[in-house]
Amino acid sequence: MHSSQKQSAPEYSLGHSEKELQRLRRQAAWYEPSTLRLFEQAGISEGMRVLDLGCGVGDVSFTARKLVGTSGEVLGIDRSEVAVAEAQKRAAAAGLRNVQFLASDLDNFRSEKKFDAVVGRLVLMYPPDPVATLRALLPSVTPHAIFAFQEAAYCVTAASYPEETLYSQMVKLFTEVMSATSNVRMGSDLFKTFIAAGLPAPQLHIEVFTGGTPDFPGFEVVAEIVRSLLPTIEKRGLASAAEIDVDTLAQRIRDDAISKHAICSWPGFVNAWTRLG
């Protein structure tokens, strides 16, 4: 592997605290069925060698491992050494010897051993130039490699119906904060990003996680994202910790939504996949 200097990505807005790593694991359990459907549609299968971009604590890599089996390989890369160390611990604890992790800047990663698929979830929203990120990987893949990515499109649907809910208010708050350091509409940009990177036009599918019952996972997910972003929210003067009262936020979001018979939606996930050759 070798590296070259490129424009650096902005700081990851959610940080890498232990609470944030725990949040990512809980959130991943909610996302996994959707991600697995994407990988199956894209054609990821037994024996393939898969590269997971922005692997975080490893959940997408573990999902890919379910499809490539014991004869395949998965390598997850992430620029956070803390997240990679956690992913390595989890792989070792599960006895997954063919799932490995590496701390690496995404744009500078190169591999002599080629990959049959490149995947990622909520990762292309962070690099300053996602087209360059994808294009830089072309020398490291096989001639018929699959590219499969899942990105959010916060503009696709209203957060709740009716819209006047605490849930909707908090989604708008963290969307505003995250938009300063990431492309919160990356899902809507996937089609043109693939093409600009020199990939064939992708197939597209959108999923919107929606619920109105007390067990809807979105209530906790929203509250925990706000928790991770709270220092930035306060720094920007958008709200104080006392106003948000994050320890009771999930329950208040839930109670408010239930009392209004609201349907709450998570930002739409756009799934995009294509194959070279």
Q: How far apart are the first and last CA of the chain?
A: 25
Q: How far apart are CA 189 and CA 255, in angstroms?
A: 35
The β-bridge relationship of strands 141-153 and 268-275 is antiparallel
Burial string for 219-258 (b: 16+ CB within 10 Å, else e) reads bbbbbbbbbbbbebbeeeeeeeeeebeeeebbebbbebbe
Q: Region 135-154: what's the mean pLDDT?
A: 96
Is 42 a member of any domain? yes
- Total count of domains within the chain: 1
Using 50, 70 and 90 to split pLDDT, how confident is the model at 16?
low
Q: Region 184-196: what's the mean pLDDT?
A: 96
Is residue 4 pLDDT above 50, yes or no?
Answer: no
Query: In Å, how far are 34, 53, 127 from 147, measured between CA atoms?
Result: 16, 11, 17
Tokens standing for residue 101: 């992790």
What confidence score (pLDDT) does residue 29 get? 86
Is 1 a member of any domain? no
Q: Region 233-245: what's the mean pLDDT?
A: 96
Q: How far apart are CA 23 and CA 16, in angstroms?
A: 10
Is 6 a member of any domain? no
Q: Note the pTM of the prediction, 2 decimals.
A: 0.89
Is 13 a member of any domain? no
Query: C-alpha angle with apex 244: 56 to 180, nearest 5 degrees?
Result: 50
Weakest-pLDDT range from 14-23, 135-144, 178-187? 14-23
Tokens standing for residue 153: 């499109």
Is 156 a member of any domain? yes
Looking at residue 264, which CATH number applies to its domain? 3.40.50.150
Query: In Å, how far are 85, 168, 260 from 103, measured between CA atoms?
Result: 9, 36, 46
Q: How far apart are CA 28 and CA 33, in angstroms?
A: 9
Domain extent at residue 109:
18-275
Instruction: With H, G, I as helix, E, B as strand and everything else as coil, classify residue 264.
Output: strand
Kindly report the average pLDDT of the chain as a whole number: 91
